[in-house]
Structure 1
Amino acid sequence: MESADKGYVTFMDGVRSCLPTVLGYLGTGFAFGIVGINAHLNIFEVTLMSLIIYGGSSQFVLCGLLLTNASIPGMIFTVFLVNLRHLLMSMTASPYFRNESLLQNISLGSILTDESFAVFSTTAAQEKHFTAQWMQGLNWTGYVTWFVSTLLGALVGNLIPDPNKFGFDFAITAMFVGLFIFQFQWELSKSTRKAIVVVITVAISLYLLMIVVSSALAVIIAALLGCVAGGLVHD
């Protein structure tokens, strides 16, 4: 897994690797702060949610459920399904850190996000050398940025009575689109056939599954089917 350069070794290397995704954290976190305030949460509750749940998509979904007076068990189960993809991401990352301590692995997995996983998976696919300290820098930079942006959004949330009017509810979707394009371009450069097969598999299965199951469960199953398709295709 060594490359020609020294790779990604220190905590500061991780901070620098996170910088391209910081704008995504800032924009989405700011939007969530505004949406959270307009879901009748106070600043403390909004920021505490970001510190504890730390999941952009699930936090937006939770705000919507709060506005519809959904039951507590229903909210817990929905957030669990939306965040279930983090289990898959952690399982994918864990073999690279099997020599680290249990506490180190718990720390790495607890604040792993879609953005940091995208950077990690691309780095791993390029067979560049990296360490747990690099991963910590990558994760913690995102975590702190998310908290700060959420706080800023909550502070100005009362000034924007209808965040949907300005498209803030679309922020999380826009971020995922950006991550997808970034990752897909790299996979396409490696294996055109495999990348196309995976995208088609996910798209078709997602469309069909959303007819019979919830959207959150459909995304999880479609992602798993895409992984299977990618594993079966060989160039």
Structure 2
Amino acid sequence: MSFNRKSAYLQMMQKGLLDMMPLNLAVIPWGILCGSLAIQRDFSILEALLMPLVVYAGAVQLVVIELMHANAPLATILFTAFIISSRHFLYGLALRDKLKNLPLRWRGSLGFLLTDELFALSGDKQSYKGKLRLVYALFAGGSFYVSWLIWNIIGIAAGSYLPDLTNLGLDFAIAVTFIALVIPSIVNLPLLITVCVAGVLSVIFKLLHWELGLVLASVIAMYCGYLATRLQTKNNAIATYQINKNTVNENNSGEQKL
């Protein structure tokens, strides 16, 4: 591998780490909350460590910890975890065309690392195209995974000394993180409609206590965004047609005068 090639890989690794750094820091309260809660709910240190290592999903970790502490049936725990994580199925569908031709080692690695945060960095049309961009995604997602483990470990170490952090509202940190991720990506009307519909419906479904409310809100919002895109494309086509028609009429009128 030439020096320039190595330099390009190092730059993409560095860029992936730096782009994910604000998000790595934003989940400090969330990670500490998950780690400390496991210890406070009588998990062993090994069990508490396996949660972020294997599950790697903050919301699922919190809910599963509480359900296991309450001796809930295994079927209930698995179904609840499936419902909470079902949005990742939508992420996978959204990135399917970009990843389907990659070797299994890439699809498996990126699939495991595909969090809300990494998905937010995957909106560019050129994402995952070429090995350099794959390396970028791998290091961005990998750095978030390592950071998540570190914050969980800190929470585990402090779990015996900290109060019940669920009463402090630290879980709101993750909502603030998502808001910071979404707002800069709203660059056109269809995206604005999608975000507004998703936000409003998710609140309504939450108040109605619908288990699939988040997924349903996402699907409806995406469909509304799709309809808005089609309408915008149609209006642009009509406008372009009218402009071309007027140009042709003006040209014909000019030729007749000559």
Shorter-normalised TM range:
0.7 to 0.9
Unmatched tracts of structure 2, length 5 or more: 1-7, 233-258
Question: 1:214 maps to what in 2?
Answer: 210
Distance 1:224 1:32 in 2: 29
Distance 1:7 1:47 in 2: 32
SS at match of 1:214: coil
Question: 1:73 maps to what in 2?
Answer: 75
Q: Cα distance 1:131–1:94, how it changes in 2: closer, same or farther (>3 A)? A: farther
Instruction: Choose the corresponding residue for 1:142, options 133, 141, 144.
Output: 144
Question: 1:200 maps to what in 2?
Answer: 196
Question: 2:45 maps to what in 1?
Answer: 43
Q: Shift in Å at residue 213 of structure 1?
A: 5.8
The within-5 A match list for 1:3-152 is 10-121=12-123, 124=124, 131-152=133-154
Could you tell me whether the CA contact under 8 Å between 2:36 and 2:162 is conserved in 1? yes
Distance 1:114 1:120 in 2: 10
Could you tell me whether the CA contact under 8 Å between 1:194 and 1:230 is conserved in 2? yes
Could you tell me whether the CA contact under 8 Å between 2:20 and 2:144 is conserved in 1? yes
Q: Cα distance 1:36–1:230, how it changes in 2: closer, same or farther (>3 A)? A: same
Distance 2:18 2:114 in 1: 16
Distance 1:178 1:146 in 2: 14
Question: 2:242 maps to what in 1?
Answer: none
Question: 2:228 maps to what in 1?
Answer: 233
Q: Shift in Å at residue 218 of structure 1?
A: 0.6
Q: Cα distance 1:136–1:98, how it changes in 2: closer, same or farther (>3 A)? A: same
* Moved beyond 4 Å, runs of 4+: 6-9, 125-130, 210-213
Distance 1:113 1:165 in 2: 26
One-letter amino acid matched to 1:221: L
Task: Work out which of the two has the higher radius of gyration on C-alpha atoms and give 1 or 2.
Answer: 2
Q: Shift in Å at residue 157 of structure 1?
A: 0.4
Question: 1:3 maps to what in 2?
Answer: none
Distance 1:87 1:128 in 2: 18
Distance 1:233 1:8 in 2: 41
Question: 1:162 maps to what in 2?
Answer: 164
Could you tell me whether the CA contact under 8 Å between 1:28 and 1:56 is conserved in 2? yes
Distance 2:60 2:128 in 1: 32
Could you tell me whether the CA contact under 8 Å between 2:29 and 2:173 is conserved in 1? no
Q: Shift in Å at residue 207 of structure 1?
A: 4.4
Q: Shift in Å at residue 103 of structure 1?
A: 1.9
Q: Comparing 125-134 with 42-51, which one deviates more in the overlay? A: 125-134
Could you tell me whether the CA contact under 8 Å between 2:127 and 2:133 is conserved in 1? no
CA distances 1:77-136 after superposition (whole Å, capped 9, x unpaired): 100111111111122123223442122111101121111111222xx1698976111110
Q: Shift in Å at residue 64 of structure 1?
A: 2.0
Question: 2:219 maps to what in 1?
Answer: 224
Q: Shift in Å at residue 174 of structure 1?
A: 2.2
Highest relative contact order (Cα 8 Å, sep 6+), 1 or 2? 1
Q: Cα distance 1:179–1:125, how it changes in 2: closer, same or farther (>3 A)? A: farther
Question: 1:180 maps to what in 2?
Answer: 179
Name the TM-score, length of structure 2 as normaliser: 0.76
Unmatched tracts of structure 1, length 5 or more: 1-5
Could you tell me whether the CA contact under 8 Å between 1:116 and 1:138 is conserved in 2? yes
